[in-house]
């Protein structure tokens, strides 16, 4: 699945939010590279293009970029549940691709945002694994970092077919769920613009009330709750960029899901190589560079308020 580049109008809007200065960006990347060289616990193997994508995702903030890189590498050592054996051909990932639709739409919104979709393909509860879903999401996010700079993201979560048991598996009282939030939301240079929930059940408020005390107000304000399906998105974005079943022209849900399955499979060698390279060496960490992420994981104090969701 090809991620289509911004149109001229979309690029103009992106440049207005994150101004581009090639010479300054080159100096900033060099500064980040120099900082990495002085962190004995962190690898320094990323090429300049990939570092530039991290910097862009951090709105050109060098300090923010350093923080995200620190967490990006540290989380891969600290939470092996999501980063060990990153092989898209293993049964866990293959079964997840068969049971869960998860993909990124090829076209950007008019504002330049990238849209991802998550929904059940198979409603059987035994097919719903937070660990497998999180591992797959992180593989897709890494694939995107190899291919594009992204202004911001819109997440569409279709709750059709979700039962109370599915929601229980997503509860923040589950350690694996909180670890997933740390890994996905707080160690990637990808900002969140909006979260749309489709086919929200009547008891959705009871479910969200469990989460609200643990979430930043800024994140809660990004939620949009819809009782209907994909047609609810038409007032928020050009419907043509949506899946066919939702009135768009991007392809069917199955086609989009399968194309991203093939995409991560095509990058198998990269994932297996990166599994060994992109991780922190905690034994080499200097005392003064204590990781906030490790502190958060140590005992999991249980507050999503520590997450930096921009």
pTM of the model: 0.91
Helix, strand, coil percentages in the chain from 3-state DSSP, rounded to 5: 55, 10, 35
Q: Which of 150, 153, 139, 145 is CA-nearest to residue 266?
A: 139
What residue segments make up the domains of the chain, in order of their start? 7-285
Q: Each residue of 40-89: pLDDT tens digit? A: 999 999 999 999 999 999 999 999 999 999 999 999 999 999 998 899 99
Which CATH architecture fits 7-285?
Answer: 3-Layer(aba) Sandwich (3.40)
Instruction: Report d(CA 150, CA 112) in Å as an integer.
Output: 8
Question: Quick one: what percent of the chain has pLDDT higher than 70?
Answer: 91
- CB of 94 closer than 8 Å to CB of 132: no
Instruction: Report d(CA 118, CA 100) in Å as an integer.
Output: 7
Q: Which two tokens stand for residue 189?
A: 């240079």
Q: Which two tokens stand for residue 151?
A: 């202004």
- Quickly count: other Cβ atoms within 10 Å of residue 40's Cβ: 11
Lowest pLDDT segment from 77-81, 115-119, 175-179, 273-277? 175-179
Which value, in Å, is the radius of gyration of the alpha carbons in the chain?
Answer: 19
Which has more confidence, 175 or 128? 128
Burial class from Cβ neighbours inside 10 Å (0-12, 13-18, 19+) for residue 177 reads middle
- CB of 72 closer than 8 Å to CB of 188: yes
């Amino acid at each position: 699945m090809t991620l289509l580049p911004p149109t001229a109008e979309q690029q103009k809007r992106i440049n207005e939010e994150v101004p581009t200065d090639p010479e300054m960006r080159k100096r900033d990347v060099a500064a980040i590279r120099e900082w990495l060289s002085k962190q004995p616990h962190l690898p320094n193997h990323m090429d300049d293009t990939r570092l530039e994508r991290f910097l862009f995702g951090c709105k050109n903030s060098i300090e923010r970029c350093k923080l995200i890189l620190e967490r990006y590498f540290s989380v891969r050592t600290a939470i092996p549940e999501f980063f060990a054996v990153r092989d898209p051909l293993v049964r866990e990932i293959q079964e997840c691709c068969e049971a869960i639709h998860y993909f990124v739409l090829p076209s950007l919104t008019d504002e330049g945002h990238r849209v991802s979709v998550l929904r059940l393909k198979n409603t059987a509860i035994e097919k719903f694994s937070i660990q497998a879903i999180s591992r797959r999401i992180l593989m897709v996010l890494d694939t995107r970092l190899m291919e594009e700079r992204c202004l911001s993201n819109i997440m569409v979560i279709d709750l059709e077919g979700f039962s109370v048991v599915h929601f229980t598996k997503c509860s923040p009282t589950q350690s694996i769920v909180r670890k997933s939030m740390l890994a996905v939301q707080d160690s990637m240079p990808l900002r969140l613009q909006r979260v749309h929930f489709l086919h929200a059940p009547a008891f959705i408020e009871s479910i969200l009330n469990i989460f609200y005390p643990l979430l930043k107000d800024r994140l809660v304000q990004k939620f949009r709750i819809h009782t209907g399906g994909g047609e609810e998105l038409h007032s928020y974005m050009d419907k043509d960029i949506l899946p066919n079943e939702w009135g768009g022209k991007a392809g069917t849900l199955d086609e989009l899901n399968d194309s991203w399955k093939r995409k991560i499979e095509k990058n198998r060698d990269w994932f297996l190589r990166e599994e060994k390279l992109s991780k922190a060496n905690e034994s080499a960490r200097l005392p003064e560079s204590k990781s906030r992420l490790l502190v958060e994981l140590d005992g999991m104090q249980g507050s999503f308020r520590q997450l930096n969701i921009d």
